[in-house]
Amino acid sequence: MSDTARHTAVVTGIGLITALGQDLRTTFEALCAGRSGLRRPPADHVVAGSVDVAGIAPAVAAADVLPPSEGRSVDRYVLLALAAADAALADAGIEIGRDVDPWRTGVVVSSGGAGLETYEDQARARHQRGRTAISPYLLPGMLPNMAAARIAIKYGAHGHSAAIATACAAGAQSVAEALRLIRAGDADIVVCGGADAPLHPTIADAFGNARALARGWDDPRAASRPFDERRNGFVLAEGSAVLVVERAEHARARGAAGYADLLGWGATTDAYRPTAPRPDGLGAVNSMRRALTDAGLAPSDVDYVNAHGTGTKVGDIAEAKAVRAVFGDRSPAVSATKSMTGHLLGGAGAVEAGIVALSLAEGLLPPTRNLDTVGPGCELDHITGKSRDTRVTAAVSNSFAFGGHNITLAFGQSSIPVKRLSRTTEDGHG
């Protein structure tokens, strides 16, 4: 990761589908205004009774994203990923086969839980009606690689295609893999990100019985409160984020604009416990340090950290401790946008990568909602109340997962003309 001749990668397209909606501008404006997309599940929702509050994404029908012949028994996580990919490629203004060689187009889109809801529904049908009840379309509808595979099939992307299984770090690690492919010269663009649809009773009850979920809040919008003294767990959410990461020279040649450069990444493993981070935050420390080294950044270059910040007692303290260890007394601005989107598990890191890229382009940093009183051990330069209007030179995004997987992504100002939600300007550097 120290090759000085490596290619520059730039984010030229973003597709987000979360509890805040699926229009990019509307979603980012809501985040910057500190508006929550979290709510109580309606009485007829499958997860009602299992959770008090959830991040429910807009409906996506198979017919919206797939031909009729291909939409049978397709899990919701795949449909969400396809919707986000459609939006990202449209946002990038790129048509595979016209603007980019299909054989130099990669797809890395991952999931934390993949098609568990579809699997359980089919298992129940088999138990009730026997083996003939199982759909022959079950496996191509729910396997962990099927979001990536379906996107590649739909758009004719013939390059490297994969799914990464690192739980809640999977979306961020997919973005890191895109950078690896671009740098190695193996792709001109990579469609990358993550998706999850965990709003299902078995999954919700598993987290609930582990006492990991926020509970006891009269106002569902108050339930997700990273770093706050009264935090008591995360809010389970569904959705997807897909980014188009493109070789900067390729983007420049086709006259494209970019939100931000993807500068570097770092990965470590806690090797501690399956479901808890190291209390000293050492894995997160080294993940951030590796990302900065890979990006050629000093800690003082970083203006913003989008925290993993789920709202758990132990996790938030460990991350805050790690941020202080890396950045010292000069803490960059920090916010945890899961306070408004909820925790999308394998999709979370990709959502937050998209938010960071938008923040760099717009010069706006979204706040952490519900951070009324900073909890002991969580002291940082938290953004609260409303967005912070400031030019950002470099930023990082953290994603941590069950199993001790730590991923940090580092971003910088776009090296090609800057793409903003309102306009494109020529003030990119490099």
Closest CA to 266 of 172, 168, 401, 403: 172
Catalytic residue among 160, 200, 250, 308: 308
Using DSSP's 3-state secondary structure scheme, residue 190 falls into: strand
308 included as an active-site residue: yes
Give the C-alpha distances (Å, rounded to integers) separating 278 from 50, 168, 288, 355, 380: 29, 16, 15, 27, 19
Q: What band does 5 get if pLDDT is binned at 50, 70 and 90?
A: low
168 included as an active-site residue: yes
- What is the average per-residue pLDDT within 155-180? 97
Question: How much is the mean pLDDT over the chain?
Answer: 94
Q: What letter would DSSP give residue 267?
A: E
Residue range 17-66, pLDDT digits in tens = 999 999 999 999 999 999 999 999 999 999 999 999 999 999 999 999 99
Q: Are 101 and 158 in contact (CB under 8 A)?
A: no
Give the C-alpha distances (Å, rounded to integers) separating 244 from 131, 205, 214, 415: 41, 35, 33, 15
Residue range 373-398, pLDDT digits in tens = 999 999 999 999 999 999 999 999 99
Tokens 């999308």 belong to 344
pLDDT at position 383: 98
Q: Exposed, middle or buried: residue 306 (CB in 10 Å: 0-12, 13-18, 19+)?
A: buried
Q: Are 336 and 230 in contact (CB under 8 A)?
A: no
d(CA 415, CA 64): 35
Catalytic residue among 160, 200, 250, 343: 343
d(CA 122, CA 133): 8
Percent of the chain surpassing pLDDT 90: 85
Catalytic residue among 7, 32, 160, 168: 168
Residue range 283-319, pLDDT digits in tens = 999 999 999 999 999 999 999 999 999 999 999 999 9
Q: State yes or no: pLDDT of 246 exceeds 80.
A: yes
Q: Which helix (H) or strand (E) holds 405?
A: strand 405-413
Amino acid code (one letter) for 142: M
d(CA 343, CA 337): 9
Q: State yes or no: pLDDT of 108 exceeds 60.
A: yes
- Two structure tokens written together for 52: 């008090």
Domains of the chain, CATH where assigned: 9-424 (3.40.47.10)
- Two structure tokens written together for 402: 């069950």
Q: State yes or no: pLDDT of 430 exceeds 90.
A: no
pLDDT at position 142: 78
